[in-house]
């Protein structure tokens, strides 16, 4: 059964993820979506920030209450990236790439970031998946013009938020339902790999918390971890920041 979406809209929030977590603790059902016109303290991974100027992007979070084994929960991030890729194609006719694990790219620049966070609630452990999509050229963070882009920059025209939001929710329902099936992890990894140039054969550098490694991508593990072939063998990366080395060499 797919979740039943319920959308709550806000003029301004510090962070839609924080609001979704608060509502999850208050008992919100799976499928609660939080949307804000702006975020004043939008967050990325590792205490980084997500720049979220007013009416310039989609700032969205959704509550999941997954019942499947917890070692598959990291696939929620990949599932969300697949859904964003579908929604941008459907609503904006925009083809995007996915960079492991959580960036959606257009022309090699970051258009969307995804942040999944677990939250302890009286109804059990929940997961909030936050999605930020740069819609207009005003969403681009200062100083990141070479690394970031927006739907407007990538397509050459403005797109409304509502059709993109609707397409995103449809895609999330579809891929979350798939993930819940017995062969869900394999399915999501297949869908992700079909949409990502980073899945196989990409020369990358990975910045892990205490180590940097360079190698060529060799697909994903069943839990979504990235396999990287290095001179000393295959390494399994569970978390880290990935840089495409070919692109950097060309710059
Ligand atoms: C992410 O983190 O990419 C996850 C971003 C998730 C944002 C959504 S918005 C709705 C929901 N509510 C929240 O509070 N968060 C979620 P990370 O991979 O750590 O990337 C963060 C980095 O991306 C920053 O350090 C900047 O370098 C860059 N960045 C910040 N704002 C950006 C933007 N609008 N567009 C592109 N890059 C940005």
User: To which residue do tokens 């797109």 refer?
Assistant: 159
Distance 43 CA to ligand 1 centre (A): 6
196 CB within 6 A, ligand 1: no
Lay out the sheet containing 226-230: strands in order across: 233-237, 226-230, 212-220, 200-207, 241-244
Task: Tell me the pTM.
Answer: 0.96
Q: 5: how many CB neighbours lie within 10 A of its CB? A: 15
Rounded to whole angstroms, the Cα distance separating 67 from 208 reads 30
Of 50, 51, 105, 243, the residue with max ligand 1 atoms within 8 A of its CB, to mutate for a pocket test, comes to 50
Model confidence at 251, pLDDT cuts 50, 70, 90, reads: very low
Q: Report pLDDT digits (tens) over 62-117.
A: 999 999 989 899 999 999 999 999 999 999 999 999 999 989 999 999 999 999 99
Distance 50 CA to ligand 1 centre (A): 4
Cα Rg of the chain, angstroms: 17
16 CB within 6 A, ligand 1: yes
Residue bearing the bigger pLDDT, 7 or 246:
7
Rounded to whole angstroms, the Cα distance separating 78 from 169 reads 15
Burial class from Cβ neighbours inside 10 Å (0-12, 13-18, 19+) for residue 227 reads: middle
SS3 97: strand
pLDDT on residue 155: 98
Distance 93 CA to ligand 1 centre (A): 23
* % of the chain beyond a pLDDT of 70: 98
Residue 154 in this model has a pLDDT that exceeds 80: yes
Q: 199: how many CB neighbours lie within 10 A of its CB? A: 20
Model confidence at 247, pLDDT cuts 50, 70, 90, reads: low
């Amino acid at each position: 059964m797919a979740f039943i979406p319920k959308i709550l809209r806000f003029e301004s929030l510090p962070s839609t993820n924080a609001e979704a977590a608060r509502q999850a603790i208050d008992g919100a059902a799976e499928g609660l979506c939080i949307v804000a016109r702006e975020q004043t303290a939008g967050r990325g991974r590792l205490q980084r920030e997500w720049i979220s100027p007013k009416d310039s992007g989609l700032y969205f979070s959704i509550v999941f209450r997954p019942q499947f084994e917890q070692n598959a929960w990291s696939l929620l991030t990949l599932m969300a990236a697949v859904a964003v890729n579908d929604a941008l194609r459907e609503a904006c006719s925009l083809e995007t790439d996915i960079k492991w694990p959580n960036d959606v790219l257009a022309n090699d620049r970051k258009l969307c970031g995804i942040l999944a966070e677990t939250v302890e609630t009286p109804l059990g452990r929940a997961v909030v998946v936050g999605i930020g999509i740069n819609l207009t050229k005003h969403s681009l963070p200062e100083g990141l013009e070479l690394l970031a882009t927006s739907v407007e920059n990538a397509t050459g025209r403005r797109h409304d938020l509502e059709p993109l939001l609707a397409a995103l929710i449809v895609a999330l329902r579809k891929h979350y339902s798939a993930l819940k099936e017995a062969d869900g992890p394999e399915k999501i990894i297949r869908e992700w790999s079909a949409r990502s140039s980073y899945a196989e054969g990409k020369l990358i550098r990975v910045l892990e918390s205490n180590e940097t490694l360079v190698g060529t991508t060799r697909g994903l593990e069943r839990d979504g971890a990235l396999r990287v072939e290095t001179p000393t063998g295959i390494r399994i990366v569970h978390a880290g920041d990935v840089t495409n080395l070919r692109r950097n060499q060309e710059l």
